[in-house]
Amino acid sequence: MKERMKRAKRMDRFMTAVFYAVAVFFMVLLAAFAGKVIIGGLMGAKPEMFGFERQGTLGNQLFNTIYLVLAALVCSVPVGVFAGIYLAVYAKQGPLTKFLRICIETLSSLPSIVVGLFGYLVFLVFLGMGKSLLAGALSVSILTLPLLTTTTEDAIRGLPEGYFQASLGLGATKWQSVFHVLLPACVPRIMTGVILAAGRGFGEAAALLYTTGSGSTLRWGNWDITSPTSPLNLLRPAETLSTQIWNLQINGQDPALANLAAAVLMLLVLVFNIAANIWSRRIEAKDSGEKA
């Protein structure tokens, strides 16, 4: 018995060391990759590259990227969260629910280039939007919907059963229990899904090549949303940082600007992730009665 316990302890120490080594490996790999992209991009940067001119800058593309991701989240977060609530609380187990889950899993595995072609056919050909920021945002929202749906469903199902039953026992209706008890408790996990969905939107290029177009001629100070040069117009062509990187690299025009765009894109994702995590923790602390 003692010998068996010793072997078990040795195996436990060995596996612990293996898992720590794997974690350190991935941390070093991420730091090396991020450092290479960010340092390499900033080393070749020039002050004029951060402007908002049409050629040789990335200011407009940076704004387009943030604007497109926010528009995509506005479209996908409510639908994805409500779909997750339906599957977790309201849907009855049966062939229809199983088929719906298969559809969601299939949609989550679709290549982005296929979603881009779908967006081109539906939003540009059938609906006649033309290449626009709105068409790109809707295409990105299709890519992020399955992630938000499954994250919300798993978050609700992961809560103790007593949450829901206690709320119903106090006289709350089902929808009141969902929106006032279950959802606040699930905010941190749902925010994780939102962060992953935003990261997908920031880095998406294949779907946007078919839907948003290239080039960004903006007139800052023109806030008429119907004007094709207004920054707030959702129906104008909008080149994002990811499509700018692709265009610059494929045409071999300005490698230094492409490297800088990649560095800015990575920093943008990093800042968004940190800000979203801080906000999520403050909400969680507030709901639990702790100091934010």
Q: What is the pLDDT of residue 288?
A: 63
The stretch 252-271 carries a mean pLDDT of 84
Q: Which residues of 94-123 are buried (b: 16+ CB within 10 A; e: fewer)?
A: eeeeeebeeebeeeeeeebeebbbbbbebb
Kindly list the domain boundaries of the chain, sorted by start residue.
1-43, 49-287
Q: Residue 292 pLDDT more than 70?
A: no
User: What is the rounded CA–CA span in Å between residue 74 and residue 137?
Assistant: 9
The stretch 75-93 carries a mean pLDDT of 90
Q: What is the pLDDT of residue 43?
A: 83
Cβ–Cβ < 8 Å for 265, 242: yes
Q: Which CATH architecture has domain 49-287?
A: Orthogonal Bundle (1.10)
197: which 2 tokens? 């969905």
Please write the tens of the pLDDT for every residue from 111-162. 888 999 999 999 998 988 888 999 999 999 999 999 999 999 998 888 887 8
Most distant CA atoms of the chain, gap in Å? 80
pTM recorded for the entire structure: 0.85
User: What is the rounded CA–CA span in Å between residue 191 and residue 174?
Assistant: 23
Please write the tens of the pLDDT for every residue from 167-206. 888 788 888 888 888 888 888 888 888 888 888 888 888 8
Would you put residue 128 in left (φ > 0), alpha (ψ -120 to 50) or beta?
left
DSSP label at 47?
A: G
Q: Residue 287 pLDDT more than 70?
A: no
Count of residues for the chain? 292
179: which 2 tokens? 């929106």
CA angle 211, 78, 152 (to 5 degrees): 110
- Band of residue 65 on the pLDDT scale cut at 50, 70, 90: very high
Q: Residue 72 pLDDT more than 90?
A: yes
Q: What is the pLDDT of residue 200?
A: 86
Q: What is the pLDDT of residue 25?
A: 95
Please write the tens of the pLDDT for every residue from 23-34. 999 999 988 888
Arithmetic mean of pLDDT over the chain: 85
Query: What are the backbone dihedrals phi and psi of residue 127, each rounded to the nearest 5 degrees, phi first?
Result: -90, -15
The stretch 280-292 carries a mean pLDDT of 67
Across 76-150, the runs of DSSP E, i.e. the strands, are none
- Band of residue 106 on the pLDDT scale cut at 50, 70, 90: confident
**CA distances, 140 to each of 95, 210, 243, 272 (Å):** 29, 12, 14, 17
The stretch 67-90 carries a mean pLDDT of 92
Q: What is the pLDDT of residue 252?
A: 67
User: What is the rounded CA–CA span in Å between residue 145 and residue 164?
Assistant: 25
